[in-house]
Structure 1
Amino acid sequence: MNVLLSKFNTKHDTAPFSKLKNAEYTPAIQEGIALAKAEIDAIVNNPDAATFENTIAAMEYTGEVLDRASSIFFNLNSAETNDEMQKIAQEISPLLSEFGNDIRLNPELFARVKTVYDSRETLDLTPEQSTLLDKKYKSFSRNGANLPEDKKTKLRKIDQELSTLSLQFGENILAETNAFQLHLTNKNDLAGLPEGAIEAAGSLAKAQEKEGWIFTLDHPSYVPFMTYADNRELRKKLALAFGARGFQNNAFDNQKIVLQIVQLRFERAQLLGYATHAHFVLEERMAESPEKVLLFSNNLLAKAKPAAQKEFAELSAFAKEIDGIQQLEKWDGGYYSEKLKQKLFDFDDEKLKPYFQLEKVLNGAFTIAQKLYSLTFTEVFDIDKYHPEVMTYEVTDENKALVAVFYADFFPRKGKRNGAWMTSFKSQYIKDTTNERPHISNVCNFTPPTESKPSLLTFNEVTTLFHEFGHGLHGMLANTTYPSLSGTSVYWDFVELPSQVMENWCYEPEALALFATHYQTNEVIPMEYVQKIKESASFQEGLATMRQLSFGLLDMGWHGQDPTNITDVKAFENQQFAATQLYPEVAENAMSTAFSHIFQGGYSSGYYSYKWAEVLDADAFEYFQEKGIFNPEVATKFKENVLSKGGTEHPMILYKRFRGQEPKPDALLKRAGLL
């Protein structure tokens, strides 16, 4: 019996990871597709006239088996993959893409949806039902339902190709990341590196039965090396390897894939009657159009650029003064920034790390969620997990009712992709009066514990934990009727608000006092360190803003125009970066060939949304600051109007209901020291 096709019979209906077999994924997905098709056929063949309930709502609850099996598979393919799973992903992706098109291009089904949509004015729907109807109709119209047959066929072909290409893109990055190691045997080469980084590199070498130390392109290894290693040549070597991923004219080269992806996305948009892929994407965003995104980005750039140029000049002068560096290169940025920060604020990440033991930081996030939203997190040991390192929690409310199941997976390993993300194994929705609670997961790649120390986080890792936990709360507190509007199923430029707003608590003395205690002495983090964290928060904010905007502008460059005549990835990239470039060009490196956010993840034409959401989060947190960062009234408003509402209404309506007004960029500019 295929586990994925039977009732799980587990605590809270959680995924039975230990019983899953690779051989069962493809048959489960195929069977799931067959079941979903049968459910859709039943809707199409219903002899009764189309209504909201028998068509729109009915569609919402189809494909349950398929959704569950595919979410389990793809989550594991990101967090615990192997060659066999990657092969299965290549089999499954086209099937799912084809199935999606079977639904969206089904003329009888669309006819029923259109009937309901055309009579929407007479239906007396709730805001959530109206949103669902609009979304369902657009899921057809925006995916070719109004096209003639020949164009529908072409669209299907494009979608299949795109799903295969983006998978290939990601696998190439993973392969290139895993293929590179900096193996050092001379102790002098470790000069400047913190003890924890040296110990981790030593453990890695030991695990591979090698002498010395091994550094990799995984963030917990790469970032400390680039920040602290005194040996400039070795920093250069590592930086060049990192920047060359997917750009080495080898079996894992992504240049052709990038050009194919942007071309196919453009052709798809044109088929559907949109000027470009960005026009297509942004129609369903708060930003609405590429013009608006560019206006927003360029306005911010105008404020950030003078600050960035000044900061770059200061950094260059500082590197020259202390080490005689004539020309600051990309592999110098992190290193001299850290040195300058230490000089200006007389502190560094290494001084802070003993106060940020992972377990305590996580418990701090839980305590803050308790104070704001009355949630209790209890670690449990009778829920199945996909790796021994994963921790499982029951999340309950003030009445001890289950709110969510929470999985936490924090350390790098071979089968896990880089970065940090939140995902769900099961969505929240209400069916037959039962409120199905969600199963939410946070996956990160933090500094692992060593033989002599627990996992001690850099401050950047602390904010990452809070960021992903913010996404997690958005998923956990979901309280909507329909699964496709639940949790983080919101406009993409709104999805980063709950995550980014959570980061603000990491800078507040009142919040830090809850979790920032020394791992050996339990002493609370000294106030002068807290002061320095706050002061240094806007250190080089001009450079950071410009870097973030440059990625967003590159994204819009690829997707906001006709890419047909772009033949050289690198040359195109250089053009796009012209307005934001400060460091000398590195010929051996490219950004696009490893830009997973836009070529593998869902951020194409949406990278600007990080900055967009920063405007929202600074404005929202200013409200908390005015009333008190643990003010129950503000927290309740945020929970009820933002966190629990998912995508049930337009985000601006939800935001204004919480804040009483539209967001203004002033709070962000003030926080960044750019006013």
Structure 2
Amino acid sequence: MTENPFFAPSALPYRLPPFAEIREEHYAPAFERGMAEQLAEVEAIAGSADPPTFDNTVAALERSGQLLYRVSTVFFNQASSDTGPGLQAIQKDVTPRLAQHSDAIHLDARLFSRIKAISPDGLDAERKLLLERYVTDFVRAGAELAPEDQERLRGLNEELSGLSTQFEQNLLADTNASAIVVEDVAELDGLSEDDIRGAAETAKARGLDGKYVLTLVLPTGQPVLTELTSRGLRERIHKASAGRGLRDNSPLVVRMARLRAERAALLGYGSHAEYVVADQTAPGTEAVTEMLAKLTPAAVANAHKEAEALRETAGFDIAAWDWSFYAEKVREARYSIDSRQMRPYFELNRVLWDGVFHAAGRLYGIGFTERTDLVGYHPDVRVFEVSDEDGSPLGLFLGDFYARASKRGGAWMNSLVKQSELEGTRPVVVNNLNIVKPPAGEPTLMTFDQVNTMFHEFGHALHGLFSAVQFPRFSGTAVPRDFVEYPSQVNEMWGVWPEVLANYARHHETGEPMPQDLVDRMLESQKFNQGFATVEYLAATLLDWAWHTVDADGSDPQEFEARALRDANVDLPLVPPRYRSTYFAHIWSGGYSAGYYSYIWSEVLDADTVEWFKENGGLTRENGDTFRRELLSKGGSVEAMTTFRAFRGRDPRIEPLLERRGLL
């Protein structure tokens, strides 16, 4: 196949993948050739008769596999954002083979010998760190194991990659199948007319004319539970959400936990969690365990207090599916605020241009131009060119904001092209959200949680766009997992910064700003329900931790889950984990295994950084330039906590986080 668009670098601006030319049949041949080309490149490096140097070994490895990188980034982005049976079949076939491919490189004794033989003397700081990282990567991949152990490791990696793909595909299918079909519109009492029309459109797209379909989002808690007055329908929705994956994913999670534990033991670690944390900013599993234990009692106590207030308002013993509904009633009573009052002020385009982009422009001096001449991978995808203050090109930002049956749940950022001085490339990044698309011609009105998510994911995008490193290994968000959420969480602060909020929170029909008293009440209510929010997060985190520190072999996943939550003192029937085991995509198919703690770990840094911005004048170019220069631009080219200390001038303090979450 000579016309395969992956076979040569893209000729489009910023090497944007040529999505208009890419077809499903291009992927398999591109993977085949990509893996073959990289193995040939690696063979040339490993088999070289020349003495090993940084340039002929480490830099050469950094340059290798460019075709494989091009096809992998596009394929796995589409497999998450717009999949189908053909793509899923390719994914099932290729993921175990990619695991084999990675092992073939990392377990090449000749290659590892060359890397270890390179002296760091005379290398600049980034090259020296890259050399150290390569040694660490190879060791963690099993390069120092005996041959028979390496063979077992290959088998473990191959099986785990296949199981992870199966988990992801099972979850997408079950989430779509678990959507709630409503026959009588009266059951939808409490939803806005826009939401009801959206549910009708979803039903029509599924061939259910005259009915209404409520699709599920990834977490346990479903946003519609806040508004639906029908308790029976709320119960149906909650049980459908919490029951996802029980049949098909239950055996997979037990198997994956066992295989990860075996792999960790093979590599000399006491648990998978110990293996993961050894390569993070946390000093060890004890530090993570200690932090979680420190946060749990106060959070649980707060949740119990909140539950009492909800019971009093409801007048009966509420269940898990009642919490959001009655929490909204209490919020309305305490703060005279209704979430439906706010949505007309959060229209997607205005939030994007006058909120997210405006804040980035004020803080960093960057500008945005929508490039309608450039095509995304789906008709809903929008492409924006990003320029620096002096007009020089910075990169491309792709926004894919709408939910669809072919997209996995949640929100995330991907890099399609990494910034790298070595390869002369500028970044191309994409943000995915899952906002229900309204009927044609209708405005997209967002909840404040969705607004917050848009600011959060754009924080990841900025981390990628501002990257200024030599080597692709360090580009953008290539930092430890328990550090990667930190910049994105900091960017959330601008969504409620007065100047920014006043700029975008305008009524979609009249253009009138959100009344100041509504703004004040909205901001005052942000600390409300923090007991629930913290406990549901901690329950998921502690569940992840248990799967990867406790022997789960032979366990029934539901029994294991119940025991883990009970042992951690977060088994509150009214506050189920944000994710239960069988739909916890972060840890089984999303790279966060034994790492879901990273959100709260990063929030320590985030809350401390928000305090710094407030102490230093807030939304100013000087502050933005400092954050960009000392931290965002560094990617992984400097040790993560070194960048934090360079920015903050000291180690982080936990008190700002405790205050934010009402845990003092």
Match of 1:92 among 94, 100, 103: 94
Name the residue aligned to 1:328.
318
Contact 2:416 2:427 in 1 (8 A): yes
Contact 2:346–2:445 (8 Å) recurs in 1: yes
Match of residue 365 from structure 2: 374
The answer to whether 1:177 aligns with 2:175 is yes
In the alignment, which of 611, 616, 619 is matched to residue 630 of structure 1? 619
Partner of 1:3: 5
Matched residue type, 2:286: E
Q: For residues 47 and 392 of structure 1, what CA distance do their matches in structure 2 show?
A: 47
Once the 2 structures are TM-superposed, how far is the Cα of residue 27 of structure 1 from its aligned partner? 1.2
Q: What is the match of residue 543 of structure 1?
A: 532
Q: Percent identity?
A: 39
Matches of 1:187 and 1:91, distance apart in 2: 44
Residues in 2 aligned to 1:467 and 1:137: alpha-carbon distance in whole angstroms: 33
Letter in 1 for 2:362: K
The letter of the residue matching 1:428 is: Q
Q: How does 1:215-234 map to 2 (within 5 A)?
A: 215-218=214-217, 223-234=222-233
2:271 maps to 1:276: yes
Closer, same or farther: CA 585–370 of 1 in aligned 2, 3 Å:
closer
Which stretch shows the higher mean deviation, 49-58 or 155-164? 49-58
Q: Does 1:162 align with 2:160?
A: yes
Measure, in 2, the Cα distance between the counterparts of 1:304 and 1:478.
Answer: 37
Q: Tell whether the 8 Å contact from 2:386 to 2:396 is kept in structure 1 after alignment.
A: yes
- Alignment deviations for residues 84-134 of structure 1 (CA, whole Å, 9 cap, x no partner): 000000111111111100000000000001112xx43xx133221222111
TM-superposed CA distance for 1:265, in Å, is 0.3
Give distance in 1, aligned partners of 2:651 and 2:193.
Answer: 47
Q: Which moved more, 1:482-491 or 1:285-294?
A: 285-294
Residue by residue over 1:444-467, the C-alpha shift from the partner in whole angstroms, topping out at 9 and shown as x without a partner, is: 111323356300100000000000
Q: 1:627: how far off?
A: 1.5
Kindly tell me: are residues 241 and 209 of structure 1, through their superposed partners in 2, closer, same or farther at Cα, counting changes over 3 Å? closer
1:346 pairs, out of 330, 336, 346, with 336
1:18-50 Cα offsets, whole Å, 9 max, x none, are: 211211211111101111111111211222211
One-letter amino acid of the structure 2 residue matched with residue 379 of structure 1: E
Paired position in structure 2 for 1:666: 655
TM-score with structure 2 setting the length: 0.96
Distance in 1 separating the partners of 2:418 and 2:380: 23
Query: For residues 424 and 163 of structure 1, what CA distance do their matches in structure 2 show?
Result: 21
Deviation at 1:219, TM superposition (A): 6.3
Confirm or deny that 1:293 pairs with 2:295: no
User: How far did 1:631 drift?
Assistant: 2.2
Q: 1:222 offset after TM fit, Å?
A: 8.0
Q: Are the equivalent residues in 1 in contact too, given 2:356–2:455 (CA < 8 A)?
A: yes
Q: What is the CA distance between 1:549 and its match in structure 2? A: 1.1
Within a 5 Å distance, the mapping from 1:578-657 to structure 2 comes to 578=566, 579-583=569-573, 591-657=580-646
Output the CA distance in 2 between the equivalents of 1:330 and 1:135: 46
Q: Offset at 1:205?
A: 2.5
Partner secondary structure for residue 416 of structure 2: strand
Shift of 1:474: 0.3
Match for residue 102 of structure 1? Answer: 104
Any idea what SS the aligned residue of 1:424 has? strand
CA distance change for structure 1 residues 435 and 383 in 2, over 3 Å: closer, same or farther?
same
The equivalent of 2:235 in structure 1 is 236
CA distance in 1, matches of 2:488, 2:102: 29
- The one-character-per-residue Cα deviations of 1:562-599 (angstroms, maximum 9, x if unpaired) are 333x5111111111112012226999x98101110101
Residue deviations 1:634-656 (CA, integer Å, cap 9, x gap): 21111011111001121111001
For structure 1, which segment, 532-541 or 41-50, has the greater mean C-alpha deviation from structure 2 after superposition?
41-50
Task: Report deviation, 1:523.
Answer: 0.9
Question: Which of 350, 356, 372 is the matching residue for 2:346?
Answer: 356
**Aligned partner of 2:98: which letter?**
L
User: In structure 2, what is the Cα distance between the partners aligned to 1:134 and 1:563?
Assistant: 34
How large is the RMSD of aligned CA atoms in angstroms?
1.8
* Partners of 1:57 and 1:586 in 2: CA distance: 48
User: What CA deviation, in whole Å up to 9, does each residue of 1:595-646 have, x standing for no partner?
Assistant: 1010110110100111111111110011111112212222111101111100
Aligned residues of 1:492 and 1:606 also touching (Cα < 8 A): yes
Secondary structure, aligned partner of 1:493: helix
The answer for the alignment partner of 1:132 in structure 2 is 130
Tell me by how many angstroms 1:317 deviates: 2.2
Tell me which of 413, 416, 419 is aligned to 1:425: 416
CA distance in 2, matches of 1:359, 1:281: 39
CA change 1:292–1:57 in 2 (3 A) is: same
1:212 shift after superposition: 3.0
Q: Distance in 2 between matches of 1:140 and 1:219?
A: 34
Report matched runs for 1:438-449 at 5 Å. 438-449=427-438
The CA distance in 2 between the partners of 1:274 and 1:220, in whole Å, is: 31
1:221/1:526 Cα in 2 relative to 1: closer, same or farther (>3 Å)?
farther
- What is the identity, as a one-letter code, of the residue corresponding to 1:111? S
Aligned to 2:193: 195
* AA at the equivalent of 1:334: S
Q: Which of 283, 298, 303 is equivalent to 1:303?
A: 298
Q: Distance in 1 between matches of 2:576 and 2:434?
A: 27
Contact 1:219 1:445 in 2 (8 A): no
Q: Is structure 2 residue 548 aligned with structure 1 residue 574?
A: no
- Spell out, residue by residue over 1:64-93, the C-alpha distance to the aligned partner (whole angstroms, 9 max, x if none): 111111111110111111000000001111
Which residue pairs with 1:412 in the alignment?
A: 403
| Preserved CA contact (<8 Å) 2:400 2:432 | yes
**CA, structure 1 residues 96+482, in 2 after alignment: closer, same or farther (shift >3 Å)?**
same
| Residue aligning to 1:41 | 43
Q: CA deviation at 1:672?
A: 2.2
SS class of match (2:550): coil
The answer as to whether partners of 1:509 and 1:530 remain within 8 angstroms in 2 is no
Which deviates the most, 490-499 or 434-443? 434-443
Aligned length: 658
2:375 to 384, 388, 411: 384
Once residues 413 and 649 of structure 2 are traced to their aligned partners in structure 1, the CA distance between those partners, rounded to angstroms, is 29
Q: Which stretches of structure 1, 4 residues or more, deviate above 4 A after TM superposition?
A: 219-222, 584-587
Task: Name the CA distance, whole Å, in 1 between partners of 2:145 and 2:203.
Answer: 58
What secondary structure sits across from 1:296 in the alignment? helix
| Aligned equivalent of 1:147 | 145
Take 2:336 and 2:218, find their aligned partners in 1: how far apart are those partners? 25
- Could you say what secondary structure the match of 2:449 adopts? helix
Do residues 471 (structure 1) and 460 (structure 2) align?
yes
SS at 2:380 equivalent: coil
The alpha carbon displacement at 1:165 in A equals 0.1
For 2:258, the aligned partner's letter is: Q
Is this contact kept in 2: 1:79–1:443, CA < 8 A?
yes
Residue 54 of structure 1 is matched in structure 2 by 56
SS at structure 2 position matched to 1:73: helix
Q: Hey, what's the Cα distance between the residues in 1 that align with 2:576 and 2:428?
A: 44
Structure 1 residues 381-422: Cα deviation after superposition (integer angstroms, max 9, x where no partner): 221211111110110101211111111011111211111110
**Any stretches of 5+ residues in structure 1 without a counterpart?**
none
Q: Deviations over 1:333-358 (max 9, x none)?
A: 11111111111111122111111110
C-alpha distance in structure 1 between counterparts of 2:11 and 2:251, whole Å: 47
In structure 2, what is the Cα distance between the partners aligned to 1:256 and 1:228?
35
**Alignment check: 8 A CA contact 2:367 2:388 kept:** yes
Amino acid aligned to 1:181? A
